Structure 1
Amino acid sequence: MEERGIESVPEAERRGRPRDLFLVWFSSNMSYLPILLGGSLMVLGLNVWQAVAVLLAGNTFWALVGLLAVSGPSTGSPGAVIMRVLFGVRGNRLIGCGLGWLTAVGFEAINLSVTVLAGQALLAETGVDGSPAARGVILVLVAVVTFTISVYGYDAILRMSRAITLLLTLSLLVAGALVAAHARPAADGSAGAALGPLAAALVGLTVVASGPLSWLCGADYSRYLPRTAPGRAVAGWTAAGGWLASVFLGLVGVLAGTVVDMADPLTSMTALMPTWFHPVFLVAVIVGTLANNVLTSYSSGLLLQGAGVRIRRARAVLLDGVLGGGIALYALVAANFLTALNNLLALSVAYMGPIIAVYATDLLLRRNRYDAAELADTRPGALPSTGVGVAGTGAFLTGTAAALLCVNTTLWTGPVSTWLGGADLAAIAGPLVAALVYTALTRAGHTRPDRPRRSIDASGAPHDCAAADAAGTRLVPVVDLKLSAGGLVVIRPARREPTDPPG
Structure 2
Amino acid sequence: MSQPHVTDPVSYPEPLAHPETRGIELIDASERHGRARDLFPVWAAPNVSVLNFTVGASLILLGLELWQALLVIVAGSLPWILTGIVATSGPAAGTSGSVITRAIYGIRGNRVLVAFFGWFISAVFLALNWLASSFMGAELLAQLGFTDPVAVPVIVTIVVAAITVVVAVFGHSLILRSYPVVASVLLAIFLLVTAFVLPHVQWGYAAPAPLEGAPLWSAVTIGIAILASTPLSYTNSPDLARYLPETTKRSHIIAATAFGGALPCIFFTAVGALLATGIGSAAMDLGIESALLALLPAWLGPIFVVGVIINTISLNGMTTYTASMAFQSIGVPIRRIPSAIVVGAIGAALTIYLVMSTSLLDAVNLMLQLLVLISGPTMTIFAVDVILRRNRYKGEDLFNEKPGGPFWYSRGWHIPGLLAVVLGAAVASLFLTNAVWTGPISAAMGFLDLSVPVSMIVTAGVYIALTPSLRRSSTTTPSVTQGAHA
Deviation for aligned residue 1:340 = 6.9
> AA paired with 1:70?
T
Check 1:130–1:167 CA distance in 2 against 1; reply closer, same or farther (3 A cut).
farther
Q: Give the corresponding residue for 2:6.
A: none
Larger radius of gyration: 1
Q: Give the corresponding residue for 2:348.
A: 325
Q: Give the corresponding residue for 1:429.
A: 454
Q: What is the correspondence of 1:18-167 to structure 2 with a 5 Å cutoff?
A: 18-130=36-148, 132-167=150-185
Aligned-partner Cα distance in 2 for 1:72–1:221? 8
Q: Give the corresponding residue for 1:258.
A: 277
Note if contact 1:115-1:290 (Cα within 8 Å) is conserved in structure 2.
Answer: no
Q: What is the correspondence of 1:322-471 to structure 2 with a 5 Å cutoff?
A: 322-335=345-358, 343-382=366-405, 383=407, 384-443=409-468, 447-449=472-474
- Within the candidate set 464, 479, 482, 1:480 is matched to 482
> AA paired with 2:299?
W
Q: Give the corresponding residue for 1:178.
A: 196
Q: Give the corresponding residue for 1:270.
A: 293
Asked if 1:203 is matched to 2:222, the reply is yes
Deviation for aligned residue 1:129 = 3.8
> Relative to structure 2, which stretch is displaced further, 359-368 or 185-194?
185-194
Aligned-partner Cα distance in 1 for 2:471–2:39? 38
Note if contact 1:178-1:272 (Cα within 8 Å) is conserved in structure 2.
Answer: yes
Aligned-partner Cα distance in 2 for 1:332–1:162? 31
Deviation for aligned residue 1:186 = 2.2
Q: Give the corresponding residue for 2:254.
A: 235
Aligned-partner Cα distance in 1 for 2:156–2:470? 57
Aligned-partner Cα distance in 2 for 1:418–1:117? 34
TM-score (norm 1): 0.87
CA RMSD of aligned residues (A): 2.2
Aligned residues: 460
1:112-166 deviations in Å (ceiling 9; x for gaps): 2221222112223434445643333322211111011101111111223123122
Note if contact 2:381-2:421 (Cα within 8 Å) is conserved in structure 1.
Answer: yes
> AA paired with 2:203?
P
Deviation for aligned residue 1:444 = 6.2
Q: What secondary structure is seen at the aligned counterpart in 2 of 1:259?
A: helix
Q: Give the corresponding residue for 1:222.
A: 241
> Relative to structure 2, which stretch is displaced further, 247-256 or 192-201?
192-201
Check 1:344–1:258 CA distance in 2 against 1; reply closer, same or farther (3 A cut).
closer
> AA paired with 2:372?
V
Aligned-partner Cα distance in 1 for 2:208–2:390? 46
Check 1:25–1:226 CA distance in 2 against 1; reply closer, same or farther (3 A cut).
same
Which structure has more RCO (C-alpha within 8 Å, separation ≥ 6)? 2
For structure 1, which runs of at least 5 residues remain unmatched after alignment?
Answer: 455-478, 484-488, 490-503
Note if contact 1:98-1:303 (Cα within 8 Å) is conserved in structure 2.
Answer: no
Q: What secondary structure is seen at the aligned counterpart in 1 of 2:435?
A: coil
Note if contact 1:301-1:313 (Cα within 8 Å) is conserved in structure 2.
Answer: yes
Deviation for aligned residue 1:174 = 1.1
Q: What secondary structure is seen at the aligned counterpart in 1 of 2:235?
A: coil
TM-score (norm 2): 0.89
Check 1:211–1:440 CA distance in 2 against 1; reply closer, same or farther (3 A cut).
same
Aligned-partner Cα distance in 1 for 2:484–2:307? 49
> Identity over the aligned pairs, expressed in percent?
35
Deviation for aligned residue 1:349 = 0.3
1:211-267 deviations in Å (ceiling 9; x for gaps): 111211110010011111111001100111100111111011110110123452111
In the TM superposition, structure 1's runs of 4+ consecutive aligned residues that sit over 6 Å from their partners are 192-195
Note if contact 1:442-1:448 (Cα within 8 Å) is conserved in structure 2.
Answer: no
Q: What secondary structure is seen at the aligned counterpart in 1 of 2:482?
A: strand
For structure 2, which runs of at least 5 residues remain unmatched after alignment?
Answer: 1-11, 14-19
Aligned-partner Cα distance in 1 for 2:188–2:147? 29
Q: What secondary structure is seen at the aligned counterpart in 1 of 2:338?
A: helix
Q: What secondary structure is seen at the aligned counterpart in 1 of 2:36?
A: coil
Deviation for aligned residue 1:185 = 2.5
Aligned-partner Cα distance in 2 for 1:126–1:406? 46
